[in-house]
Chain A
């Protein structure tokens, strides 16, 4: 089979061929961008936080009528209330460990600042941006973080301060990502850094493998793995507790936790949103991403189905139109397989032309999305993948009508109507 007769025949139904090619071009452009969006969202959702996420939940609560001042007496009162809660929670059956914490990964509430190797730089300058976690000696064990160098906090390290107190901690644990950024030669443990442009040094005593920043939004993407953990109980009229339970006891402990806290002090706000499993926090944080990925997947499926159906429809029409010609070719000695190949090759030609335009459109669409919507550059592999998909789709769709064409008996050549 040679191409010239196919091209000559295509000239006879330019419009249909152009429409199919256009459809394939648009399909390719949209599908590879959509798949790229799906992949980047799934990738974001699947990245591990660095925690052991099972059997973990969080309580957010607010005391009513607690001293709200920043003076020493108020702080000590607030701290006493916090410690009373911690003791009650730690005494609950089924609880493995508890830490107070200002936030946790994937929770939309964060404290961020900068870390510098020199004292007194600008707050927004520094050598790296970092997010802050404040917890006690059970912070690492409760979140299930992996300490890869140095030591954990001890109970003696833990101090308390008001949540608007801007003084910097004496000692900190940092993530490997932050340590590597600040000290590319390694051995961050024992070194001193300056937080938030302060002149007071903070000593790194340990390094954890990985801990994600709370925010999953794009503004935090630049320092999402840079975290600094300080051994501090933050005092205010509110507190968050992260609680790890024994396997299988998460639900029981979550159900019982409000009664336990109300028993310590009934004057507090503990509503339906106050107790959240980490699974819920995760689902909530990534809801938009998962939703977007699902929308794109639905659009891709509809698009491919419609394009395939369109190819089947138009090719069927052509087969009907050329019924006699096919009969003549068969009568002149063409085999069934030749007829089949004719239509397959014809589709390959049309789809190929469409796909070439589609590649340009796909890259153009990606450019538009990059310019306007904080999208990153689409790797070429997505274009190639999209190309493979639409070409395969074309061949699949054309097979049914092409088979029907190949079954046209040679005898139709002899019939005049």
Chain B
């Protein structure tokens, strides 16, 4: 019977090609536009480390007090980064399972080949626990040890790209790299690790950036050699001392911090520790305002930092609106199409077809329109995902990609949506009075 309905539907659709094309175009464009914006939205709102994000926490300490939130735009939130004093104190206390303070650096590297010009790289100064905490994938070697942290060892972890550039992709563990005029021993090479958003340091990267993570060096080593921070520095008062050392002594915030806390008890304990730390410092005279700490897990943190660009959300909203209009449009056209065949329905009903048969017949027709529209939608989504690179900023558009899941979803959305749009017209068609139709003929 289903084959017969398909045949009937195809005949009916062929009978009024204009209307059919119109419906297919509406579905195709509606689905194409929404799936294109969805692909961008999915790319920027995805969880960069889904297996672990609920165990990663970002602590915030209110080092500025009320005068820090005078602009009133941030709901009394404490600064979103840390000053040097607190970052180092938290590292020293070492209360989480794994933790790392980090800041973005942008040193220069002198290639071993003397004929080449120096190049500029990006990266982070981190503690040894950073690598296991973020599950950074190593291709060769590993991170450095806690002992090397405290020895301020001249070691470096390279990312895949820069290892390709400097060593042709060979295992470079044990080789030497000249960073800012000083030699560093390579201890590990990452397997092209570029998580987007750059979840471990949203503050200094904004989450989405075209910048690369090329090198990772020990935090205290970077501080010792005076490697300046290449990111945001926010102050509530001008540092008293000058230079990088002055910055370290100030209450300016420029350091990102992350801790891994594996269960509820650990989170509570860490929260208590943070509060106790604040009270201690208050007692010591550093703060004169009430406790105002935060401890957010990674998803909440990314949300509070507005990592997903609002343009992406607005586009998705508007595209979904477009899809709804397309569906309303299709519903109207299907209604016209189905009711035009009232006499046909009347004959079928008079010959004994139950309402269910009418339902099946017309829903099959709607599904065929949906499937064809979905196929067009696939094409348009494909074009759209490639087309967004022309209009959207590079750091975002390069993340949007097609995969089987998205394609399947496109078809599914098209078919389900069209059948939903066809429900009311089908209902109306099934209510056609056979007697009335037969009489009028």
What residues of chain A have their CB less than 8 Å away from a CB belonging to chain B? Answer: 15-16, 19-20, 22-23, 26-27, 29-30, 33-34, 37, 62, 64-65, 68-70, 122-125, 162, 164-167, 196-198, 219, 236, 262, 266-271, 287-288, 290-292, 294-296, 298-299, 302-303, 306-307, 309-310, 313-314, 317-318, 320-321, 369, 372-375, 417
Check if B391 sits within 8 Å of A295, measured CB to CB.
yes
| B324 partner residues in chain A, CB cutoff 8 A | 26
Q: Are B181 and A64 in contact (CB under 8 A)?
A: yes
Minimal beta-carbon separation of A167 from chain B (angstroms) = 8
Q: Are A68 and B311 in contact (CB under 8 A)?
A: no
| C-alpha spacing A125/B29, complex, angstroms | 51
CB of A320 within 8 A of CB of B68, answer: no
A137 to chain B, nearest CB (A): 25
Task: Tell me the bound Cα distance from A123 to B251 in angstroms.
Answer: 12
Q: Is B120 an interface residue (CB 8 A)?
A: yes
A399 to chain B, nearest CB (A): 16
Query: Which of B118, B247, B340 contacts A320 (CB under 8 A)?
Result: B340
Q: Is B22 an interface residue (CB 8 A)?
A: yes
Partner of B118, one of A69, A162, A269: A269
State which residues 306-325 of B face A: CB under 8 Å: 309-311, 313-315, 317-319, 321-322, 324-325
A188 vs chain B, min Cβ distance (A): 23
Structural contact, B391 and A162, CB atoms closer than 8 A: no
| Stretch from B166-174, B213-221, B238-246 contacting the other chain | B238-246
The answer to the question of B236 belonging to the interface, with a C-beta cut-off of 8 Å to chain A, is yes
Is B125 an interface residue when CB atoms closer than 8 A count as contact? Answer: no
Contact: B318 with A299, CB < 8 Å? yes
Cβ contact of A306, chosen from B29, B119, B244, cutoff 8 A: B29
Asked whether B393 lies within 8 Å of A288 as measured between CB atoms, the reply is: yes
Q: Which of A30, A236, A270 contacts B318 (CB 8 A)?
A: A30
Assess the B325–A19 pair: CB atoms within 8 A.
no
Identify the closest chain A residue to B391 (Cβ). Answer: A291
Q: What residue in chain A is nearest B424 (Cβ atoms)? A: A15
Q: A196–B238 Cα gap in the complex (Å)?
A: 7
Q: Given the complex of chains A and B, what is the CA–CA distance between A296 and B332 in angstroms?
A: 25
Q: A64, B108: Cβ atoms under 8 Å? A: yes
B310 pairs with A64, CB closer than 8 A: no
Q: A374–B310 Cα gap in the complex (Å)?
A: 8
Asked if B242 contacts A292 (CB within 8 A), the reply is no
With A and B bound together, what is the CA distance between A317 and B22 in angstroms?
A: 13
Q: Which B residues are CB-close (under 8 A) to A313?
A: 18-19, 22, 332-333, 336
Give every chain A residue within 8 A of B336 (Cβ-Cβ).
16, 313-314, 317-318
B339 partner residues in chain A, CB cutoff 8 A: 317, 321
Q: A164-B242, A266-B117, A288-B393 given as contacts; is B313 within 8 A of A373 (CB)?
A: yes
Contact A269 B424 (CB under 8 A): no
Complex alpha-carbon distance, A320 and B341, angstroms: 12
**Residues from chain A with Cβ under 8 Å of B274 in the complex:** none
Q: Which among A124, A125, A314, A374 is the interface contact of B332 at CB below 8 angstroms? A: A314
Q: Separation in Å of the B89 CB from the closest CB of chain A?
A: 23
Q: Are the C-beta atoms of A309 and B236 separated by less than 8 Å?
A: no
Distance between Cα atoms of A290 and B337 in the complex (Å): 41
A-B contact pairs, 13 of them (CB 8 A): A30-B321, A30-B325, A124-B67, A124-B70, A125-B67, A164-B242, A266-B117, A287-B392, A291-B391, A295-B391, A307-B325, A313-B22, A321-B340
Whether A23 lies near B332 (C-beta < 8 A) is yes
Within B101-135, the residues touching A (CB, 8 Å) are: 108, 110, 117-120
Q: Is B340's CB under 8 angstroms from A317's CB?
A: yes
Q: Is B331 an interface residue (CB 8 A)?
A: yes
Determine whether the beta carbon of A122 is less than 8 Å from that of B335: no
Query: With an 8 A cutoff between CB atoms, is B328 at the interface?
Result: yes
List residues of B whose CB falls within 8 A of some A CB: 18-19, 22, 25-26, 29-30, 33, 37, 67-68, 70-71, 73, 108, 110, 117-120, 180-181, 226, 228, 235-239, 242-247, 309-311, 313-315, 317-319, 321-322, 324-326, 328-329, 331-333, 335-337, 339-340, 388, 391-394, 424, 428, 441
Q: Give chain A's interface secondary structure class.
A: helix
Report the Cα distance A302→B37, complex, angstroms: 15
Complex Cα distance A413/B198, Å? Answer: 74
Whether A162 and B325, one on each chain, are in contact in the complex, defined by CB atoms closer than 8 angstroms, is: no
User: In the bound complex, what is the Cα–Cα distance between A202 and B26 (angstroms)?
Assistant: 64
Closest Cβ of chain A: how far from B349's Cβ, in Å?
Answer: 20
CB-defined contacts of A162 to chain B, threshold 8 Å? 242-243
A299 touches B319 (CB 8 A): yes
Docked complex Cα distance between A318 and B310 (Å) = 43
Pair B180/A64 contact, Cβ less than 8 Å: yes
CB distance from A328 to the nearest CB of B (A): 15
Shortest Cβ distance from A141 into chain B, in angstroms? 30
A289-B25 Cα distance, complex, nearest whole Å: 28
Q: A62-B120, A269-B108 are in contact. List 10 more A-B contacts (CB 8 A).
A: A19-B331, A19-B332, A64-B110, A65-B110, A288-B393, A302-B322, A310-B22, A369-B317, A372-B313, A373-B313
Known A34-B318, A314-B332; contact A287-B237, beta-carbon cutoff 8 A: no
C-alpha gap A291/B390 in the complex (Å) = 8
Residues from chain B with a CB closer than 8 A to the CB of A314 are 332-333, 335-336
The answer to whether B70 touches A125, judged by C-beta atoms less than 8 angstroms apart, is yes
A303 vs B322: C-alpha distance when bound (angstroms): 6
Q: Chain B nearest CB: distance from A373 CB in Å?
A: 4
Known: A269-B120, A307-B325. A292 touches B315 (CB 8 A): yes
B33 touches A122 (CB 8 A): no
Q: Of B117, B329, B392, which one neighbours A288 at CB under 8 angstroms?
A: B392
Question: Distance (Å) between the CB of B417 and the closest chain A CB?
Answer: 14
Other-chain contact of A15, B19, B117, B335, B340 (Cβ < 8 Å): B335
Which residue from B108, B237, B325 sits with its C-beta under 8 Å from A123? B237
* Docked CA distance A123–B70 (Å): 10
Nearest CB in chain B to that of A34: its residue: B318
Q: A124-B68, A310-B329, A317-B340 are in contact. Are A198 and B238 (CB under 8 A)?
A: yes
A295 with B315, Cβ < 8 A, contacts A64-B118, A317-B336 known:
yes
In the assembled complex, the Cα of A130 lies from the Cα of B18 at a distance in Å of 61
- Minimum Cβ distance to chain B for residue A71 (Å): 9
